[in-house]
Amino acid sequence: MSLTAPIDLGLAILLLGLAVWVIAASATYRAAEGFIAYGLVLALVWVRVGSVDVALTEAALGSGLTGLLLLRAAARLPPADPAETARPGKGVRVLAALLSAILTGGLAAVVLLLPEPAPTLAPAAAASLPATGMGNPVTGVLLAYRAIDTLGESIVLVLALVGLWSLAPDGAWGGRPGALTTAPAGSALRFLAQVLPPFGILVGIHLLWVGADHPGGKFQGATVIAAMWVLILIAGLRRPPTVTSRAMRWLVVVGSLLFVGIGAAGTWLAGAFLAYPDGLAKPLILAIEAALTLSVAVILGLLLAGPPEAECPTEARS
Amino acid sequence: MMAAQDIFTVATVSLGALFFLAGTLGLLRFPDTLTRLHALTKADNLGLGLIVLGLLPQVSSPLGWIGLIAVWLLALLAGATVGQLLAGAVRPSTGTSAHRGDPPA
């Protein structure tokens, strides 16, 4: 154990240093870059505390996808004008520092004053796990015990996409999301976008499939699949679909619809909303996960592609 | 027999770690972007390759070997691509038609 102590200490110092960097960075772009590195180090920390499921999610969604969203946002924002970004007054700053210190102190006190052993629901979760047919307790919690939370998450993603699309100007409605970049033919990026997607899609499906018994799951798998799609879009091999495409809209909602449908069927068949009939828990959970993976992958890709733009400038540019 | 495998692992993984150290030093000390890229890709290709090579005897299942080698090959592919892209971004004038607005053929 003593061998790993320096590694843990190094990770903690690196994490705090990156956090300070993200806050202190003067340019938005640099802060976004720092945030990506912060997410990757945080994923390593999650591995060190034994939460591989969380680590995978942090690396895929927290660092990769959110980082890319932030980079795109930073690229679109005009450079900050030092004259316009006036610093808040001293009183406000002191107040903010005070509140932050109280929050940090409170959190530290809560963590340090935990009773030994810390209260946990893990034994209860593990005891009922065989009834769900799942081997990974995290998947059991996400899709059986707390399925309502996961249902809410899947619907929030659809709403986020609706919110993003509402940012489109009237004239652009019906168009495609703007081109991410245009890579010249024969460039290394195009080569990568032609070679990598089969492997990435395989990894995504693998993450979904092993999620039943091992770390992994639909969100991580969907993020990898979405990344492959975005890579193809960035390389210019395919264009994103128009926002009015029926097929694409069905893909966006199929996961949530199936989840709600199976949940509602549980009201009659198993006595409660989102309850699974005896013996059918595993196939139903797998069906929901598969449909959600598809929907989440499409939604994440569309979120990264951005709101639709008017056709004409896109045509002229690409 | 076991000992020979372990010695092989320790030796190759240490050598791989040395390449990572050298690559990091190069990243910090080399004068411009292209030479820094050169240092980084050496760390990725050789360093990771040696570490994977050293770990192979420690894995008993053929699926584990394939997984390890796949990690190295994918890192090679990603490293080479990103290296090309960064180099192209730094020196757009040397690219053939690497201007961002050019129509893809």
ipTM of the complex in this document? 0.73
With pLDDT > 70 as the criterion, what percentage of chain A qualifies?
Answer: 92
- The angle formed by the CA atoms of residues A44, B74 and A181, to the nearest 5 degrees, is 95
Of A36, A181, A182, which to mutate for an interface test with B (greatest number of B Cβ within 10 Å)?
Answer: A182
Name which residue leads in pLDDT, A232 or A124.
A232
Angle at A198 between CA A196 and CA A203, to 5 degrees: 95
Residue A128 identity (one-letter amino acid): S
pLDDT value at position A316? Answer: 41
pLDDT at A127 over 70: yes
Chain B residues touching A195 at Cβ < 8 A: 77
Residues in A touching B85 (Cβ below 8 Å): 187-189
How far, in Å, are A45, A116, A124, A240, B101 from residue A120 at the CA level? 21, 11, 9, 46, 57
Q: Tell me, what DSSP letter sits at residue A89?
A: P
Q: Specify the higher pLDDT residue, A306 or A160.
A: A160
Mean pLDDT in residue range A165-189: 76
Q: Tell me the backbone φ, ψ of residue A286, rounded to 5 degrees.
A: -65, -40
d(CA A249, CA A256): 12
Residue B104 has pLDDT above 60, yes or no: no
Please tell me whether residue A177 adopts helix, strand or coil conformation: strand
Q: Does A128 touch chain B (CB under 8 A)?
A: no
Distances (CA, A) of A115 to A49, A102, A109, A120: 19, 22, 12, 11
Q: What is the pTM of this model?
A: 0.81
**Shortest distance, CA A233 to any CA of chain B (angstroms):** 13
> Would you say residue A209 has pLDDT above 90?
no
Length of chain B: 105
Contacts of A181 (CB under 8 A, 6+ apart): A234, A236, B100
Binary contact (A182, B103; C-beta < 8 A): yes
In chain A, which residue's Cα lies nearest the Cα of B77?
A192
What is the chain A residue with the closest CA to B84?
A188
Residues of A in contact with B89 (CB under 8 A): none
Flag whether residue B98 sits within 8 Å of chain A, measured between CB atoms: yes
